[in-house]
């Protein structure tokens, strides 16, 4: 069990966790999921922006948004 099997954990935080941080999480997990384990949160969580899901889908990324949460919940 060497350290090469461990993924680097990354937390993206923005105000509402409704678009930017969710998209960053999805992109990092989609592109570099072999090396990273990304999460996202918002300091003042709000509802998910449906445009974020559409943009990801339009660019070919399978994006399943995580529930909106605060950093303390991670």
pLDDT, tens digit, 9 for 90 and up, residues 5-50: 799 999 999 999 999 999 999 999 999 999 999 999 999 998 889 9
34 occurs within a structural domain:
yes
- Give the count of beta carbons closer than 10 Å to the beta carbon of residue 48: 17
Structure confidence at residue 27 (pLDDT): 93
Give the structural domain span for 40.
7-64
Whether 32 is in a domain gets the answer: yes
More confident residue, 25 or 67: 25
Q: Is the pLDDT of residue 1 over 50?
A: no
Cα–Cα distance measured from residue 16 to residue 43, given in angstroms and rounded to the nearest whole number: 6
- Euclidean distance between the first and the last CA atom of the chain, given in angstroms as a whole number: 25
Give dist(CA 44, CA 41) in Å, integer.
Answer: 9
Give the count of domains, the chain.
1
User: Residue 71 falls within a domain, yes or no?
Assistant: no
Contact between 36 and 49 under an 8 Å Cβ cutoff? The reply is: no
């Amino acid at each position: 069990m060497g350290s090469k099997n461990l993924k680097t954990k990354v937390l993206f935080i923005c105000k509402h966790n409704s678009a930017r941080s969710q998209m960053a999480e999805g992109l990092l997990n989609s592109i570099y999921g072999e090396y990273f384990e990304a999460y996202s949160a918002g300091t003042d969580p709000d509802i998910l922006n449906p445009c974020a899901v559409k943009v990801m889908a339009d660019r070919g990324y399978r994006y399943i948004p995580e529930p909106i949460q605060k950093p303390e919940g991670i």
